[in-house]
Chains A and B, each alone.
Chain A
Amino acid sequence: MIPATFDYEVAESTEHALELLGGREDAKLLAGGHSLLPAMKLRLARPSLLVDIGRLRDLSYVRDAGDHIAIGALTRHKDVVEAPLLQEHCPLVPSAAGQVGDPQVRHRGTIGGSLAHGDPASDLPTVMLTLDAEMVIRGPSGERIVPAAQFFSGVFQTALEPTELLVEIRVPKLPSTTGCSYMKMSRRAQDWATVAVATLVERRNGSIGRAAIGLTNMGATPLRATQAEEAIAGGAAIVDAAPLIASGSEPSSDTAASAEFRRHLATVLGRRALEEAAGR
């Protein structure tokens, strides 16, 4: 399978990328190509121009920015997994990035591409929603910052305008008393999640304080399990909060699982992910 014809330009800088992107209505950015090229081969996407941002090395970094860790949008999954700053301050991100696809996918795919693609079965969007991360977006009229809760708007839809570039992702530095876990269930080893759950749990000498719970593939966008979060904030034990995890979600049925099985999986994976994050 070969994609339909298209023009190809290599962006030399972020400004150059924006200029090229704004110059043609159906132009698309090409980062690692591990979502876009498969879609183009199947003719699900047919851009007339690809703007290759894969060589923008200055957008590939993991930096300590004081109160948060800044991740360049072009940082590959592999480099996210291995970043010592993330392992130390925000281990949920490398833990989930290490469960994306397989080594070949992680050698090419980027964190920015993963988030911009807006696939509800993807792992990193859920992680960003759970962490209340921020997306730094650059467009023709300057820079804006969008919280993860407002970034994912539908299946393959995000707050990004077609003329905009995601340049950086800001994730919090978690206190050492916060535990985390990402538990993913898929049908085949390298596959997308049938369901996955991300958790953050505040540990308070023996008991737990607040928790954040994010769900992958339980609706059109990544979701927060707000009812279970509220139950835990109100003092409920993990076993009592877990059955609420799928409340309010609208998972679909497909060849991998029925909606009902997805709801069941979310509660089971969610309980385990809460227990792991709580250090039990």
Chain B
Amino acid sequence: MRHVALTVNGSRHELELEPRELLVYVLRERLGLTGTTIGCDTSSCGACTVLVGGESVKSCTMLGVQADGLEITTIEGLASNGQLHAVQQAFHEHHALQCGYCTPGMVLAAVSLIEEGKATSESAIREGLEGNLCRCTGYHNIVRAVSAAAAGVS
């Protein structure tokens, strides 16, 4: 077991982790933050995407111990004071979700892309979301939502 300190959505957590515990399981099972979903569990689908130090990362492909001392944001931490984040609001307005399973990962990947200044065109957004799959295949509305949010933010 290893002592690890994580800051998740602004709250500090001190945990004893087995090195093999993946970050996604730490978030879901240790901290009860089940908004982060597991799709493929093989680094391919992006459902488990969270922000580590503000950047999108697949949490099924990172160990909890690797996140020691780092800041993590999950979908539960995006809204503030009861106000949806601009990307969440845009997903709502543009009907960018169907079953919703890919949505937390899509939203966080989009937040990272916009923050990095890379959501500059429709094709840049499509390429920038290449690590996230939507089994309901609602990509058009997802891209519309991210374009709208990027225009609002910048």
Q: Judging by beta carbons under 8 Å apart, are A41 and B55 in contact?
A: no
Q: Which of A98-106, A164-172, A241-249 contacts B (4 or more CB under 8 A)?
A: A98-106
Say whether A108 faces chain B, with CB atoms less than 8 Å apart. yes
Say whether A190 faces chain B, with CB atoms less than 8 Å apart. yes
Say whether B56 faces chain A, with CB atoms less than 8 Å apart. yes
Which A residue's beta carbon lies closest to that of B69? A55
Q: Judging by beta carbons under 8 Å apart, are A37 and B131 in contact?
A: no
Q: A4-B20, A103-B112, A105-B131 known; A33 and B62 CB under 8 Å? A: yes
Q: Judging by beta carbons under 8 Å apart, are B22 and A54 in contact?
A: no
Mask, B16-52, CB within 8 Å of A = 1, is 0011111001000000000000000111101001001
Which A residue's beta carbon lies closest to that of B22? A2
Q: A41-B41, A104-B131, A108-B61 known; A8 and B113 CB under 8 Å? A: no
Say whether A140 faces chain B, with CB atoms less than 8 Å apart. no
Say whether B130 faces chain A, with CB atoms less than 8 Å apart. yes
Interface of B, secondary structure class, is mixed
Among B43, B55, B127, B132, max chain A CB count under 10 A is at: B43
- Which residues from chain B contact A102 at a C-beta distance below 8 Å? 46, 130-132
Q: Judging by beta carbons under 8 Å apart, are B55 and A107 in contact?
A: yes
Say whether B66 faces chain A, with CB atoms less than 8 Å apart. yes
Q: Judging by beta carbons under 8 Å apart, are A190 and B61 in contact?
A: no
Mask, A36-49, CB within 8 Å of B = 1, is 01100110000000
- Docked CA distance A52–B128 (Å): 28
Contact of A37 among B2, B56, B63, B113 (CB under 8 A): B63
Q: Judging by beta carbons under 8 Å apart, are B20 and A104 in contact?
A: no
Interface residue count on the A side (C-beta < 8 Å):
29
CB of B66 to closest CB in A, whole Å: 6
Q: Judging by beta carbons under 8 Å apart, are B21 and A104 in contact?
A: no
CB of B46 to closest CB in A, whole Å: 6
CB of A183 to closest CB in B, whole Å: 16
Say whether A147 faces chain B, with CB atoms less than 8 Å apart. no
| Residues 178-220 (chain A) with a chain B CB within 8 angstroms | 189-190
- Which residues from chain B contact A108 at a C-beta distance below 8 Å? 57-58, 61-62
Q: Judging by beta carbons under 8 Å apart, are A104 and B41 in contact?
A: no
Interface residue count on the B side (C-beta < 8 Å):
33
Mask, A1-38, CB within 8 Å of B = 1, is 11111111010000000000000000000100110011
Q: A104-B49, A104-B109, A107-B57 known; A38 and B20 CB under 8 Å? A: no
Which A residue's beta carbon lies closest to that of B55? A107
CB of A114 to closest CB in B, whole Å: 15
Say whether A50 faces chain B, with CB atoms less than 8 Å apart. yes
- Which residues from chain B contact A1 at a C-beta distance below 8 Å? 41-42
- Docked CA distance A10–B66 (Å): 9
Say whether B149 faces chain A, with CB atoms less than 8 Å apart. no
- Which residues from chain B contact A4 at a C-beta distance below 8 Å? 20
- Which residues from chain A contact B52 at a C-beta distance below 8 Å? 107
CB of B118 to closest CB in A, whole Å: 8
CB of B142 to closest CB in A, whole Å: 14
Q: List 26 A-B contacts (CB under 8 A).
A: A2-B20, A2-B22, A7-B19, A8-B19, A8-B63, A33-B66, A37-B22, A37-B43, A37-B62, A38-B61, A41-B41, A41-B42, A52-B65, A52-B66, A102-B132, A103-B109, A103-B131, A104-B56, A104-B109, A104-B131, A105-B58, A107-B56, A107-B112, A108-B58, A108-B62, A190-B44
Binding site for A on B (CB under 8 A): 2, 18-22, 25, 41-44, 46, 49, 52, 55-58, 61-63, 65-66, 68, 109, 112-113, 118, 127-128, 130-132
Binding site for B on A (CB under 8 A): 1-8, 10, 30, 33-34, 37-38, 41-42, 50, 52, 54, 78, 101-105, 107-108, 189-190
Not counting A3-B20, A37-B22, A107-B56, a sample of 8 additional A-B residue pairs whose C-beta atoms are within 8 angstroms of each other reads: A1-B41, A7-B19, A33-B61, A34-B61, A37-B62, A37-B63, A38-B42, A108-B62
Closest 7 CB pairs of A and B: A102-B131, A8-B19, A189-B130, A107-B55, A104-B131, A102-B130, A3-B20
